[in-house]
Amino acid sequence: MDTLDLVRLSFDPASLRALNVILGLVMLGVALDLAPADFSRVLRQPRAVLIGLFGQLIALPALTFALILAVQPAPSVALGMLLVASCPGGNVSNLLTHLGRGNTSLSITMTAFTTSMAVVTTPLNLAVYGGLYAPAAGLLREIALDPLDLVGTIALLLGLPLVIGMTIATRLPRIAARLRRPARWFSVIALAGFIVAALAKNFPAVRDHLPGVLGVVVLHNALAFAIGDVLARLGRLGLADRRALTVEVGIQNSGLALILIFGFFGGLGGMAVIAAAWGVWHLLAGLTLVAVWSRLPGFAALRRDLPGLEEEPGEKNFAD
């Protein structure tokens, strides 16, 4: 057994509550830009949603397992990779889709669908693929997820903030307009800062393992972004939808993964390091991708095609 499998990281209850609050505020900030009509508009054109769900719920866990077979990581690292891949899309994906001028309604709808389905898909994918990877099967047998606890976490992190944010946007539009920009940047800074602090607190325990784990995270995250982009292109989706799916599959809810790891897995070292490193790296990779998009010729074309994009992202518009 790899020595990282023996490491248990500390994360006190107060920190877990703070992480829950931060993730809820991330969702609240994004929901300030939404109206009920955004969801009905997406559902009238379900092709992009179905492609995204396939990428997020089926392709990413399956190809993560293939990557594990190729890399042969420590058992706890493999479980961490599978857990991150089995979690729903990260709430920060909605913010990055905003910044990248993608279809934010599609991104939000994808996050809502995958998060609501996570009560089934997260433990199912983890159990299936974790059981198939022999080195991790023994560790997995010691772990039991409580679906009711997971449902409560999902409601806290997504459902309640989404309802509150949309209510504010609908009934108090001036207040919502003032809150949008600071809320977006608070989302990125607070979540990244929290994860960095968690890593720093436990740094002596993981210092020797971090370089190797970071390499796995970079490769895994690149695979996730590629899955979203390739599937969107194969589905012949428009530019705004392609960007939304690329970000949505590439940005996983690593905060939720951390909550599950410390709440259900006892802070298992490899899992926690993977989730925390992913939480930092995917923000850097996502922001870099958005910056690259903003300098591509297609970005200018997208601005011309979607009226009003200069002031607010084009979540209310759809690429053909």
> What's the alpha-carbon Rg for the chain, to the nearest Å?
19
Report the alpha-carbon angle 225-229-230, nearest 5.
Answer: 115
320: enclosing H helix or E strand: none
The answer to whether residue 320 is domain-embedded is no
Amino acid identity, residue 239? L
> Does some domain include residue 210?
yes
DSSP 261-306: HHHHSTTBHHHHHHHHHHHHHHHHHHHHHHHHHTTSHHHHHHHHHS
d(CA 295, CA 219): 24
* Whether 8 contacts 267, CB under 8 Å: yes
**Tens place of pLDDT per residue across the chain (320 aa):** 455 555 555 566 676 677 777 777 777 776 776 667 666 766 777 899 999 999 999 999 999 999 999 999 888 899 999 999 998 887 678 778 888 888 887 887 887 778 777 777 888 898 889 889 888 877 666 665 555 665 666 666 667 777 888 888 888 888 888 887 787 677 667 767 776 776 677 666 666 667 778 899 999 999 999 999 999 999 999 999 999 999 999 999 887 787 777 767 777 778 888 888 888 889 889 989 988 887 765 544 444 444 333 334 334 444 44
Q: Do residues 57 and 86 touch, judged by C-beta distance below 8 A?
A: no
pLDDT of residue 212: 76
Contacts of 36 (CB under 8 A, 6+ apart): 166, 170
Distance CA 112, CA 65 (A): 25
Task: Say if residues 250 and 221 touch (Cβ distance below 8 Å).
Answer: yes
What pLDDT shows up at residue 222? 96
- At residue 309, the pLDDT reads 38
In a domain, 313, yes or no: no
pTM value is: 0.77
Residue 316 lies in a domain: no
pLDDT at 205: 61
Could you tell me the CATH number of the domain that includes residue 144? 1.20.1530.20
Tokens of 43: 């559902």
Domain annotation covers residue 310 = no
Number of domains in the chain: 1
Contacts of 32 (CB under 8 A, 6+ apart): 165, 168, 169, 176, 179, 180, 183
Domain presence at residue 242: yes
Q: For helices 173-201 and 92-99, what crossing angle results, to 10°? A: 120
Q: Give CA separation, 125 vs 156, 202, 266, in Å.
A: 22, 28, 20
In terms of Cα–Cα distance, which of 310, 39, 29, 306 is closest to 177?
29
Q: At a CB cut-off of 8 Å and minimum separation 6, what does 193 contact?
A: none
Domain of residue 177: give its range.
3-305
The predicted pLDDT at position 137 comes to: 78
Give the separation between CA 214 and CA 281, rounded to whole angstroms.
8
DSSP 158: I
Q: Is residue 216 part of a domain?
A: yes
Alpha carbons 193 and 279: distance in angstroms, whole number: 10
Own/partner contacts of 163-168, CB < 8 Å, gap of 24 or more, are: 163/31, 164/28, 164/31, 165/27, 165/28, 165/29, 165/30, 165/31, 165/32, 165/34, 166/31, 166/34, 166/35, 166/36, 168/32
Calculated CA dihedral for residues 112, 243, 191, 18, nearest 10 degrees:
0
User: Which pLDDT does position 251 carry in this prediction?
Assistant: 93
Domain presence at residue 48: yes
